[in-house]
Amino acid sequence: MVRNATALYAVRFATYVVPLVTLPYLTRVLGPESFGRLAFYQAFSFWIALLLEYGFGLSATREVAQLRASPAALSRIAAEVLGSKLVLVVPVLALSLAGPRWIPSFHGGTAYLVWAVGAAVFQGFNPLWYFQGREQLQVPAALDFAGRVVAAGAIFLAVRAPADGPVVLALQAVTSAVVTVVTTALMYRDLSWRTPTLEGTRKALKAGSVLFLLRLTNNLYTTLNTLPLGLLVPFSLVGFYAAADKVVRAALGLFGPLSQALFPHISHLVSEDRTRAHRLARLSLVAMAAAGCLMAAGVIVLAPVLVRLLFGPGYEPAIPVVRILALLMPLSAANNVLGTQWMIPLGLERSFTLTVAAAGVVNVLLAWVLAPSHGPAGMAVAVTSTEAFVTLAMLTILRRRGMLPFGAGADKRATAREGGS
């Protein structure tokens, strides 16, 4: 588990921290407006990749973790997931073509759109779920890390003016394509090829549907906020929010690898030793929430320095946005444990999904009210308020079911449930 957490930290480092190396360069070379446009299309690309990844990062990972001793079963799962993604790519491309025609924010950004879609498609087909389920992430993580480092380094050579925003997306698309092709080849070195079938595809889509809605609605109030903001305010204001969001998301990304490594482990313990699962979830909650509080305090105090060093002159409006978004750190850390690490292994996907779906609606409504009048700061308030809503909702659900991973008698209740089963 430690080895896989380390590998996932390498992926997370490449995803969130490595771009921070290029952030000061891009904010200065592109300027707030072009940087905001780039961030808008990056969010759109992430949204498309999310549609293609579906819920397989959780559903397929869980199935692989449970059946990893059977090569035949793993080959079947791989075929089902591939078939599903081939089906999903059709509506994804249709939506991408509809954007420039119906939404004004997409006008004049054809080059951005083409490379954003390309990067998303290749990222969406990456079979990281397979290696995560088998807890063999070292090589795929190294490949992902190397690809993102190469793309980041090339930015300094290729991006020279505000008009070079599409080049950033092009570099991300090319490196993502290489990593996905190599990782897929590694997966099929272990597995035998099976042609996807309609029945298998239907089964996989159904199995991942609840978790897909969970991921989609979760990202509506987390990583995708730049997208709706770009529909409501000018790209220059989007640039202020996106710059602040990248810093905070990089810090939040530190929680992800540990959560991904713990997810299959806790999923296994829930069925084998519920008491140990309780203790591990409780330890994770305390550690991650405490780390989130410390990180938030540091970011709030250092916000002016961070903005000046990372973004350069002209980005002073991002300072209050950074401070507001810093409140996400303890909230997101707690939600990560309560939701992904605890509720899903317990089989509470539906309750978790309904909570996150409600949060997505709350976030959109708050953004629609606050962003036009208060700009990026209003968007930040909407996001943090939504995250607090999720925390309270999950605690309420778990308390009513008697499944909180902490509090007096938690381990005794777990033992009693094991005995009853």
pLDDT of residue 10: 65
pLDDT of residue 13: 65
CB 220 within 8 A of CB 360: yes
pLDDT of residue 16: 63
Of 162, 183, 208, 203, the residue nearest 25 (C-alpha): 162
The CA distance from 183 to 196, in Å, is 19
3-state class percentages of the chain: helix first, strand second, coil last, to nearest 5: 85, 0, 15
Of 66, 70, 166, the residue nearest 115 (C-alpha): 166
Instruction: Give the torsion sign (CA, 88, 94, 100, 104).
Output: negative
pLDDT of residue 273: 74
The CA distance from 192 to 80, in Å, is 13
CB 258 within 8 A of CB 288: yes
Question: Which residue type occupies 232?
Answer: L
**Residue 193: C-alpha distances to residues 73, 74, 128, 351 (Å):** 12, 10, 17, 36
Question: Which residue type occupies 34?
Answer: S
CB 266 within 8 A of CB 229: no
The CA distance from 416 to 335, in Å, is 26
Rounded to 10 degrees, the C-alpha dihedral 183/245/354/364 comes to -130
The CA distance from 281 to 337, in Å, is 7
If you ran DSSP here, which 8-state letter would residue 410 be given? H
The CA distance from 334 to 338, in Å, is 6
**Residue 263: C-alpha distances to residues 78, 80, 127, 162, 344 (Å):** 20, 22, 17, 42, 9
| Maximum CA extent, the chain | 67
Region at 135 (left for phi over 0; alpha for psi -120 to 50; beta for the rest): left
The CA distance from 276 to 281, in Å, is 9
pLDDT of residue 61: 83
CB 83 within 8 A of CB 206: no
How many other C-beta atoms lie within 10 A of the C-beta of residue 272? 10
Residue linked to tokens 């505000």: 162
CB 52 within 8 A of CB 95: no
Of 172, 173, 190, 2, the residue nearest 78 (C-alpha): 190
**Grouped pLDDT means (10 residues each) for the chain, 421 residues:** 65 68 90 91 89 83 83 90 91 82 81 92 90 81 86 92 94 94 92 90 84 74 79 89 86 71 71 76 84 92 91 90 94 85 81 85 90 92 94 91 67 45 43
Residue linked to tokens 């420039």: 100
207 Cβ contact partners less than 8 Å away, ≥ 6 residues apart: 55, 59, 63
The CA distance from 121 to 308, in Å, is 35
The CA distance from 231 to 119, in Å, is 22
The CA distance from 320 to 378, in Å, is 10
Both tokens of 165, joined, read: 């925003």
Q: At what angle do helices 18-53 and 198-220 cross, to 10 degrees?
A: 130
pLDDT of residue 206: 86
Of 343, 346, 369, 368, the residue nearest 356 (C-alpha): 343
CB 321 within 8 A of CB 244: yes
**Residue 162: C-alpha distances to residues 159, 244, 373 (Å):** 8, 19, 27
